[in-house]
Amino acid sequence: MTLNDYISEWIEELAVQRRYSECTLKAYSSDLHEFLLFLEMHFGQQNSVETLKTLQISDFRAWLSHRLSNGLSARSNSRALSSVKSFFNYLAKYNLVDLETIYSVRRPKLSKLLPKPIQQNVIFELLNADCFFENEPLWITERDKAIYALLYCTGLRISEALNIKTKDVNTEMQIRGKGKKDRIVILLPDVIAQIDKYITSCPYDLNEGFLFVGVKGKKLHASTVDNRLEKLRLQYNLPMHSGAHAFRHSFATHLIQNGADLRSVQDLLGHESLSSTQIYTDVDDYNLLKIYERAHPLEKKSNGDT
């Protein structure tokens, strides 16, 4: 088998056995492709399995340094290294490479990236807006408000929201998330009302297709949602780089600030690991005090609760 044969089988394994999403598969494939291109430039010859077998730790360090010099972040380098390690793990099953060298490469140190939630009053202002942009059909504003309400109510990823079919909208909905794992989300009455308002105003028949569509009636793209939010950023004092994911951050942050337990938020977000949810516990002292006063038995007793 050639190196390309092993790459194809590796991608197939990630898709079938690991059930990685199409987006993740593309990222892994792209990272490995970029790594192999660097090796060809680094050694001045075509790659083979034998090339990978003889790599030294200095070769991996040279690759990461090359990426940094091209402006790629430590976080991007860390992800790329994980992708390459995944492929090496696959080759190691056939005793084609030794994992000791690649696992000796230190993962780039990452700065702590805290989520940037949108303030509650700003979210309510968005949801109560009459129209976002002049000379634009009103149904588009109603669509955007329905998206924002849905994301903030459920903590859905934008990709999950845009895959919803109109016929599946209900008080309780089953959502397929990362790794093709299903979870249940609950829609509050105000959210359902906003979705109904959007459906009624939309000039297209949404009954048999996707719930959220663009100006031509086709499935809405996540990039369109993010681009429109960027245009609204200054107008509504949104955080820098506010994309649709900011509503997911806001959902989790506001729940925890109001006393929700971490395990429940983990389930609602569809996180596989609790560590992914723990970033939302970085709330300020004021909110911590509110939770403490509301939840601690001694505080309840001092307030006359029984």
Which residues are part of the catalytic machinery? 157, 178, 245, 248, 271, 280
- The Cα–Cα gap between 135 and 196 comes to 23
Nearest to 99 by CA among 111, 87, 108, 109: 87
Query: CB pairs under 8 A, 24+ apart, for 202-209?
Result: 202/139, 202/142, 202/143, 203/137, 203/139, 206/166, 207/166, 207/167, 208/166, 208/167, 209/165, 209/166
Residues 194 and 212: beta-carbon distance below 8 Å: no
For the record, the structure tokens of 153 come out as: 């109510």
Alpha helical stretches, state H, 97-186: 99-102, 120-127, 138-154, 158-162
Residues 166 and 211: beta-carbon distance below 8 Å: yes
Helix (H, G, I), strand (E, B) or coil at 172: strand
- The Cα–Cα gap between 220 and 209 comes to 11
Distance of CA 99 to the CA centre of its chain: 30
